Amino acid sequence: GQQVMQIPQYQHVQEGEDFTTYCNSSTTLSNIQWYKQRPGGHPVFLIQLVKSGEVKKQKRLTFQFGEAKKNSSLHITATQTTDVGTYFCAENSGGSNYKLTFGKGTLLTVNP
Amino acid sequence: DGGITQSPKYLFRKEGQNVTLSCEQNLNHDAMYWYRQDPGQGLRLIYYSQIVNDFQKGDIAEGYSVSREKKESFPLTVTSAQKNPTAFYLCASSWDRGDTEAFFGQGTRLTVV
Q: Residue-wise pLDDT tens for chain A (112 aa)?
A: 447 899 999 999 999 999 999 999 998 988 999 999 999 999 999 999 999 999 999 999 999 999 999 999 999 999 999 999 999 999 876 555 567 889 999 999 999 9
Q: Which amino acid is at A82?
A: T
Substitution target from A44, A48, A56, A99 for chain B, most B beta carbons within 10 A: A99
Annotate A63-72 with b (16+ C-beta within 10 A) or e (fewer).
bbbbeebbbb
Contacts of A40 (CB under 8 A, 6+ apart): none
The whole-angstrom separation of Cα A89 and Cα A23 is: 6
Among A2, A42, A100, the residue with its CB nearest the CB of B106 is A42
Distance from CA of A78 to the nearest CA of B (A): 25
Contact B15, B100 (CB under 8 A): no
Number of Cβ pairs < 8 A linking chain A and chain B: 72
The region, left, alpha or beta by phi > 0 then psi within -120 to 50, assigned to residue A60 is alpha
Q: What are phi and psi of A83, to 5 degrees?
A: -85, -5
Q: Residue A56, Cβ neighbours under 10 Å: how many?
A: 15
Three-class SS state of B55: strand
pLDDT tens for B17-43 read 999 999 999 999 999 999 999 987 889
User: Angle at CA B67, nearest 5°, toward B61 and B73?
Assistant: 115
